[in-house]
Copies of this chain bind each other. A is one copy, B any other.
Amino acid sequence: MSIVAVEGIQELEEGDDLAAFVAERAELEDGDVVVVAQKAVSKIEGRVVRLDDVVPSERARELAGGTDPRRLEVILQESVRLVRTRPPLVISETRHGFVCASAGVDQSNAPEAGMLVLLPVDPDASAARLRDGLRERTGRFVGVIVADSFGRAWRQGTTDVAVGAAGVRVLLDLHGERDRVGYELHATVIALADEIAGAAQLVMGKLDGVPVAVVRGLDVAGEESARDLVMPADRDLFR
């Protein structure tokens, strides 16, 4: 398996044709997985908010703990449920069902100072659009994963996970398979798409603004979505 960063992509703006930029700078092959940073997708989709346009609620002021309450207001608007709060830290559930810090709202690498970047409205659809665009431009059938950095309960540091996916198998389910001594692997479901997102992050880095990487040599074509990675409420021990 190899992972290569796609370098030379310009600073992205709303309406930019990311598929064209990637097709120009990467020699894609069938079966490749193109991993794109959520922030790149959000920028071309115009999912940015100017802090000056935000009026904070009382609840946002409480949660801000002395930081900018307008940022907390945006986080509240992006949340359907608060999971944990310790001002100014908010861990909440987004409309997509993701549980993450700040509802995925991020101040770093925004287009300008004073702007926040939100998660795409439908990151699976964003992935599908990029996949279709790459097929049109290159003739190649690739998978696409939209990746974002999430914290984890009980562990330090973020890992990139899949918030959007198209054309890939997201979960590898080994139910019913048997190991070498005949033991049925009934608890083994691997979050392939999250591992791929994290692997790509290793080469994309954070600061150098490389928003796309190409993963080659995995056989993970499929038709699942990143929503399949969300734990159903009835199986969730941490609601």
Contacts and interface: CB of A to CB of B under 8 A. Distances in A.
Contacts of A171: 156-157
Interface string A1-14: 11110000001000
A198 B194 contact: yes
Interface residues of A, number: 67
A154 B1 contact: no
A126 interface: no
B230 A110 contact: no
A238 B154 contact: yes
A218 B200 CA distance: 12
Interface of A: 1-4, 11, 84, 86, 89, 91, 98-99, 101, 107-113, 149, 152-161, 171-172, 174, 177, 179-183, 185, 187-192, 194-196, 198-199, 201-203, 206-207, 209, 217-218, 228-232, 236-238
